[in-house]
Amino acid sequence: MPHHAPTPPWSSLRVDDVEPIVVGPGCLRRDLPSTPDIRAWVVDIAPGSQWPWVDTHDTGEVLFIVSGELIEGEQRIGAGSSVFFAPGSSHRPRTEQGVRIFGINPLSPPQRGATP
């Protein structure tokens, strides 16, 4: 399959160049450019830290563990893993060694039967 270069409009950036938002002690979020109906972000959680509140998902969420280890309940999830949280789910992630997570979540439920 031939490789095609991206065609405008597109953009790229270094994630570490995005200004972080302090969510809580040891928890930083970087919001990435995305579409009006999807939010994309990167979260860094420092070693020994936990997300400051229970994270609830009205529309669901997909995570990709970029580096480190995420702990959900008693389950340890390592780099290279993907985690899906269904709509209506909740969790409160933590880490002992630190973790970088890439995530995507829809901002509104899909419109069934809508016409463009």
End-to-end alpha carbon distance in the chain: 31
Check the CA dihedral 27-34-4-12 and report its sign. negative
pLDDT for the residue 8: 72
Residue range 7-20, pLDDT digits in tens: 678 888 999 999 99
Query: How much is the CA Rg of the chain, to the nearest whole Å?
Result: 16
Whole-number pLDDT of residue 4: 65
CA dist 16 and 42 (Å) reads 9
The 10s digit of each residue's pLDDT in 72-88 is 999 999 999 999 999 99
Per-residue model confidence as pLDDT tens digits over 49-74: 999 999 998 999 999 999 999 999 99
